[in-house]
Amino acid sequence: MKQLLALALVAGLACTLGAAPRARSQSQQPTQPPATQPAQQQDQQSGGQQPPAQETPPQQSTAAPQQAAPPAQQSNVPPPQASNVPSARVLRSRTELVPVPVTVKNTHGELVPDLTKDDFRVFEDGKEQNIALFSTEAFPLSVVVVLDNDLTVKVRDQVQKSLDSIAGGLSQTDEAAVILYDQFPQPAIDFTADNDTMLTKLHRIRLGESFPGDFGGPMDAGPMVNNQQIGPGVKVYGKGAEKVTKDLDDAMHAAAELLRARGRDRRKVICLISDGQNSHHNRWSYGEVLQLLLTTDISVYTVTVGTLLLKHEPGRMTKYANDTGGDSFFASKQADLERLYSSIGEQARNQYTLAYAPQNPGVGDYHTIEVRVERPGLQVSSRQGYYASAKR
């Protein structure tokens, strides 16, 4: 008899413990009463007392399979994006093109706008390449105007009076910044696409004087001697007895750094206005500056003024223009300068754009580029090469 009573008590306790998880499940899922009602009836028949739901450790073990079921079903289905990985890699490899902006003029110096893809041939290291992209679409410009701040009085006045035309040479989609330089590059105007803002800030520039600029930073303080700022018009001779103290290469490097971050959907241009004099104490060499220009797809347009114009010795400036696919001009009058600002903008904005996929370029190697036009009697200007290590 005692054994029967003991078995009855154990059975009642088992029914009570088994009912607890179902009772809690009812409180969590009120929309499923049919699943919980039989459990409650079983509790009443057994006569046991239902313990609080939080004191029933079996609840976790019984609920775990229900929570694990959905992930188990998802694991049998492969992620949809996995099949797209190979094609994404192929797409990236296809975008490794070398862009080559090209300017074509006739014998009168006028732009030739009616050429087609079949009129061009591109050679890398002497081997002809397949032109993968050809466009005649006009690109918006990002321009850095680099102004020589140590010119003779006559030339300085001509350049000063022509500055308003810089804003006039920009379209609504262009943006421009200005750097002054002599011994050091000195930011004057930050990038702006507003012609009115550009015009207002150009009016504040006084060539031959230290200009505070609006970039911010230590470069805006002007030259210092013995911790004292030098006033306008006082020349700085910090390089021994050398007469030429202007660092043209350093100014070009500073301009290229400003353009480095501009978008690839824009044509990046430096417009250098200078007499071409250059010291032998630049921090950056010509080769280093050229590599930066080419790896960031920057074209240089130069306007030579002053004494070197008369001597026909603008070598450094012409070299920058030729090697980057820009152009070089000469101006002896204010009217020439005003006309050239507009011409440079139009020429840079409306270049032909060719691109090709190089065949096995060596990392870190410099490769020459030559562009030919089949139509006779035309002058072609393009970049002379590129560095394969460039991360565009």
Architecture of domain 140-348 in CATH?
Answer: 3-Layer(aba) Sandwich (3.40)
Listed range (93-102, 103-112, 278-287) with the worst mean pLDDT: 93-102
Res. 94 pLDDT band, cuts 50 70 90: very low
Distance CA 280, CA 244 (A): 8
Q: Looking at residue 311, what is its pLDDT?
A: 54
Q: What is the pLDDT of residues 168-225, one digit of tens each?
A: 889 999 999 999 999 899 999 999 999 999 999 999 999 987 554 454 444 444 444 3
The whole-angstrom separation of Cα 210 and Cα 273 is 18
| Predicted local distance difference test score (pLDDT) of residue 40 | 43
Cα separation of 149 and 160, whole Å? Answer: 10
Specify the range with the lowest mean pLDDT, choosing from 95-104, 180-189, 358-367, 370-379. Answer: 358-367
Alpha helices in 262-378 (DSSP H): 286-295, 307-311, 315-324, 334-349
Tell me what the mean pLDDT of segment 113-139 comes to.
94
**Does position 108 have pLDDT exceeding 50, yes or no?**
yes
DSSP 177: E
Alpha helices, DSSP H, located in 187-247 = 195-204
Higher pLDDT pick, 290 / 220 = 290
Instruction: Tell whether the model's pLDDT for residue 140 goes beyond 70.
Output: yes
Tell me, what amino acid is at 142?
S
* pLDDT one-digit tens code per residue, 306-329: 865 555 455 899 999 999 999 999
Query: What's the pLDDT score for residue 301?
Result: 97
Q: What is the mean pLDDT of residues 22-51?
A: 42
pLDDT higher than 70, residue 265: yes
- What type of residue sits at position 234? V
Q: Residue-wise over 224-236: b if at least 16 C-beta within 10 A, else e?
A: eeeeeeeeeeeeb
- C-alpha distances (whole Å) from 189 to each of 30, 46, 200, 215, 264 are 69, 89, 10, 7, 22
Tell whether the model's pLDDT for residue 24 goes beyond 90: no
Give CA 164 to chain center in angstroms.
28
pLDDT higher than 90, residue 48: no
- In whole numbers, what is the pLDDT of the chain averaged over residues? 75
Question: Could you tell me which CATH number the domain at 93-138+350-392 has?
Answer: 2.60.40
Q: According to the model, what pLDDT value does residue 235 have?
A: 42
Burial of 123 (0-12, 13-18, 19+ CB in 10 A): middle
Helix axes 315-324, 286-295, angle to 10 degrees: 30
Q: How buried is residue 316: exposed, middle or buried, by Cβ count under 10 Å (0-12/13-18/19+)?
A: buried
pLDDT confidence of residue 51: 43
Q: Are 314 and 302 spatial neighbours (Cβ–Cβ below 8 Å)?
A: yes
Q: Amino acid identity of 208?
A: G
Tokens in use for 86? 């190979």
What are the backbone angles phi and psi of residue 365, rounded to the nearest 5°?
A: -85, 145
The residue ranking higher by pLDDT, 204 or 82, is 204
Same fold, 93-138+350-392 and 140-348: no
- Asked if pLDDT for residue 143 goes beyond 50, the answer is yes
**Does 19 have pLDDT greater than 90?**
no
How is the chain split into domains, by residue range? 2-68, 93-138+350-392, 140-348
CA atoms within 13 A on the CB side of 173: 12
Q: Are strands 175-181 and 141-148 parallel, antiparallel or unpaired?
A: parallel
271, β-bridge pairs: 145, 301
The percent of residues in the chain predicted with pLDDT above 70, rounded, is 63
In the chain, % of residues over pLDDT 90? 54
Instruction: List the one residue out of 238, 214, 384 whose CA is nearest residue 300.
Output: 384
Q: Cβ(140)–Cβ(173) under 8 Å?
A: yes
Assess whether pLDDT exceeds 70 at residue 11. Answer: no
Which two three-digit tokens encode residue 116? 């087609």
- Predicted confidence band of residue 110 (pLDDT cuts 50, 70, 90): very high
Position 71 confidence tier, pLDDT thresholds 50, 70, 90: very low
Q: Which pLDDT belongs to residue 306?
A: 80
Residue 292 has pLDDT above 70, yes or no: yes
Q: How many CB atoms lie within 10 A of CB 202?
A: 19
Instruction: Please determine, for residue 86, whether its predicted confidence score (pLDDT) is greater than 70.
Output: no
